[in-house]
């Protein structure tokens, strides 16, 4: 592989409950390297979530530090929370750099919280001289809302807000420069 190929990563974005675990598994089968510390499966995703546990925990911690709800838009000035953002940026950059330095192929990750945190991620990608490729996994809104309600016991209005906010964040922050994968196509147009 060339150095340029090793400096690329795939970031799978999604509002959640839209088939990202299936997508990550497929990308892994096609040769994309996944993290060694993936969150294990449970009753909702028996084969696993295919999410890097360390990235998920750092992003959860950052949202807590910012006193932000994971489904709601972040405050306009969230990047100026110097201490929390700087701490998360340093830890995430270390993970990314380690993956890029040790993985001989393209590496990728996913976490629905990433959508809102993309402005921070762009700073990390620039710092590490990485060119990200984005894939947005979507599903019919009504099916996603039903899945949210079942999985997280959320009210339909909260689930709709999560779908809308996270999808809008992904499209806005990437300037819609992403591959879009429709969950339903996995079963109707394999």
State what percent of residues in the chain have pLDDT above 70. 96
Alpha helices (H) along the chain: 3-6, 20-29, 53-65, 82-102, 118-127, 141-152, 156-173, 185-188
Q: What pLDDT score does 86 carry?
A: 96
Handedness of CA 50, 52, 58, 62 (dihedral sign): negative
Q: What pLDDT score does 6 carry?
A: 45
For the whole model, what pTM was predicted?
Answer: 0.93
Token match 């996603």: residue? 144
Strand partners, 131: 8
Q: What pLDDT score does 19 carry?
A: 93
Could you read off the pLDDT of 70-100 as tens digits, one per residue? 888 998 899 987 799 999 999 999 999 999 9
Q: Does the pLDDT of residue 142 top 60, yes or no?
A: yes
Could you read off the pLDDT of 23-38 as tens digits, one per residue? 999 999 999 999 999 9
Q: Does the pLDDT of residue 4 top 70, yes or no?
A: no
Q: Does the pLDDT of residue 7 top 80, yes or no?
A: no
Strand partners, 13: 136
Could you read off the pLDDT of 50-70 as tens digits, one per residue? 999 999 999 999 999 999 998
């Amino acid at each position: 592989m060339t150095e340029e190929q090793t400096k690329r990563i795939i970031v799978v974005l999604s509002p959640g409950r839209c088939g990202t675990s299936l997508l990550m598994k497929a990308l892994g089968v096609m040769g994309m390297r996944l993290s060694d510390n993936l969150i294990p499966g449970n009753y909702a995703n028996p084969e696993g979530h295919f999410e890097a546990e360390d990235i998920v925990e750092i992003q959860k911690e950052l949202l807590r530090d910012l006193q932000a709800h994971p489904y709601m838009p972040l405050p306009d000035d969230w990047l100026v929370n110097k201490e929390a953002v700087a701490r998360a940026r340093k830890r995430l950059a270390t993970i990314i750099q380690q993956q890029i330095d040790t993985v001989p192929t393209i590496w990728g990750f996913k976490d629905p919280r990433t959508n809102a945190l993309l402005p921070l991620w762009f700073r990390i990608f620039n710092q590490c001289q990485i060119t990200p490729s984005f894939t947005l996994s979507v599903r019919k809104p009504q099916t996603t809302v039903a899945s949210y309600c079942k999985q997280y016991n959320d009210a339909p209005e909260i689930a709709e807000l999560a779908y809308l906010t996270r999808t809008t964040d992904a499209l806005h922050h990437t300037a819609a420069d992403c591959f879009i994968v429709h969950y339903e196509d996995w079963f109707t147009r394999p």
